[in-house]
Amino acid sequence: MDQLGSRAPKKRSRALAVPVGLALTASLAFLPVVSASAAPLGTTADAAPASKADTSGPKLSYVANLNAYATMKAAKKAVERAGGTVVTAYEQIGVVVAHSQNPDFAKQLRAQRGLFVSVGATRTAPMTAARTTDEGATQQLSAADAAKAAAAAQEGQEPLEPNQWDLRTIKADKAHKINDGSRNVTVGIIDTGVDDTHPDLAPNFSKGQSANCVGGVADTTEGAWRPYADGSDHGTHVAGTIGAARNGIGVSGVAPGVKIAAIKVSEPGTSLFYTEAVVCGFMFAAEKGIEVTNNSYYVDPYLFNCKTDDGQKALVEAIGRATKYAERKGTLHIASAGNSDQDLAADSLVDDTSPNDTTPVPRTIDPKVCLDLPTQLPGVVTVSATGDKGLRSYYSSYGLGVVDVAAPGGDKWQVPDTPDANGRVLSTVPGGGYGYKQGTSMAAPHVAGVAALLKSAHPSATPSQLQAMLKAQSTKAACPTQIYNAAGTLVDATTCASKWGQTGYYGYGVIDALKAVK
């Protein structure tokens, strides 16, 4: 995650991956496909709510997860009887997205245990016509710093590459001399949208694999995947780190030869990431043959979704079904660990930001039971952030057995020897410009880029095999003696634990692009 510019920084967490539940396992393995009318990514319906249902409540969006033997036809009818309107139905995973103003909508559906495993509202605020994980506002690249970089560029470098300390940290510059990546590999950026008109992104952009999933239904009309006019530059910045082309214009991505696609899932105005949009994003990626997804956000409105809560566990299950379905279709998911500077392997953590779309209610949670989505789901690669000096970034969350790998996310206190002397990560921003961000949102796309290089070199590798290679090829990093805190002071690194060949700060180590292409 990168530090958030549009709202308070999200305290994104990565806890130990745990099973979503026996019911999910059963539904994923044996869910029958019984309705021939469903489109590959779900069906839409405009059935009017049942006349006897209560409609006195606010209009909310819900996910309803079918049990292993329920039919989609019966589930849709139950939704309508309870005063709901079906928005999308994913028969592949047994998930229905619906809208309703019935205050007891979820309760009434949960009572039908022959049909539903779990049902929950995806938001606590009424619908109107999520948050990312960057740390602080974007710092624009000045003309003077651009000129300094161009003057320092050596033969074979992009004009702004002298400022890209992050590429050299993971040996991406050396990897590019061997292999830039394959055009047969696409990284899907599930985020706030991508400006595909940017000159560094246009050469590698795949329109046919891009969409706007806000609301839960994929919109593939021209430009739907771009950021809102009042929206965030987050997705465009992430895209540049992954796949900016080597074209002599600006920066280079970690995998400048692969394709990139945009799957917009953030709401207009608020940039909130709701469950129905994120489920759509993963399903769209799966059906469009996207090999890697980058997820630098957490699913709103809960920082942690507790499986002991009837509503929140439905969100865990719906997104878990979607990620596992995409994984079975060949998609590897990369996600950021969060910027809360918390030990995600702790016995308990304080969540004082949820729900973030209405009034937060402080609570103490067990991160093994209450999950940060999608980062704590099985099969998702969790990424912590480092700075130019190789130290864990001051904001990055960590946790032994939680973090899988580390990557450059930037740290303003770890100042590199570059023309701009800026410890943040430089990448593309909308309108053809360039800017600096820092956060685990910036770390995850470095890993997504390396994963794309691995997939290019090993086209038949499965997501689990790619994840194993990422870990095995990482550069081991021991616990440091000191790290910078938020004030820029070096303090003892007493919170770093090590065991099983891993550390809580870096997981299996810092990813290595050169090993990926060799």
Q: In this predicted structure, what is the pLDDT of residue 41?
A: 55
Question: What are the pLDDT digits (tens) for 435-462?
Answer: 999 999 999 999 999 999 999 999 999 9
- Determine which helix (DSSP H) or strand (DSSP E) holds 453, and give its type and residue range: helix 440-457
Taking only the tens of pLDDT, the chain with its 518 residues reads 544 333 333 333 232 232 333 233 333 333 333 333 334 455 444 444 445 788 889 999 999 999 999 999 999 999 999 999 999 999 999 999 999 999 999 999 999 999 999 999 999 998 764 445 556 679 999 899 999 999 999 999 999 999 999 999 999 999 999 999 999 999 999 999 999 999 999 999 999 999 999 999 999 999 999 999 878 999 999 999 999 999 999 999 999 999 999 999 999 988 999 999 999 999 999 999 999 999 999 999 999 999 999 999 999 999 999 999 999 999 999 999 999 999 999 999 999 999 999 999 999 999 999 999 999 899 999 999 999 999 999 999 999 999 999 999 999 999 999 999 999 999 999 999 999 999 999 999 999 999 999 999 999 999 999 999 999 999 999 999 999 999 999 999 999 999 999 999 999 999 999 999 99
Work out the burial of residue 464: count CB atoms within 10 Å of its CB; fewer than 13 is exposed, 13-18 middle, 19 or more buried. exposed
**Encoded tokens for 197:** 């008109």
Distance (Å, rounded) from C-alpha 245 to C-alpha 205?
10
**Encoded tokens for 164:** 């890209």
Angle between helices 440-457 and 463-472 (to 10 degrees): 110
Distance (Å, rounded) from C-alpha 150 to C-alpha 106?
58
Sign of CA dihedral 159, 162, 168, 173: positive
Angle between helices 275-287 and 310-328 (to 10 degrees): 10
**Encoded tokens for 202:** 């246009």
**Encoded tokens for 357:** 């779309």
In this structure, how many other beta carbons lie within 10 angstroms of the beta carbon of residue 33? 11
- What's the DSSP call for residue 237? H
Backbone angles phi, psi at 437, to 5 degrees: -135, 160
**Three-state helix/strand/coil letters over 156-208:** CCCCCHHHCHHHHHCCHHHHCCCCCCCCCCEEEEEECCCCCCCCCCHHHECHH
Strands 349-351 and 363-365: antiparallel
CA distances from 401 to 18, 186, 442, 454, 506 (A): 12, 29, 21, 23, 10
Distance (Å, rounded) from C-alpha 92 to C-alpha 69?
13
Distance (Å, rounded) from C-alpha 355 to C-alpha 359?
6
In this structure, how many other beta carbons lie within 10 angstroms of the beta carbon of residue 345? 18
Angle between helices 440-457 and 234-243 (to 10 degrees): 40
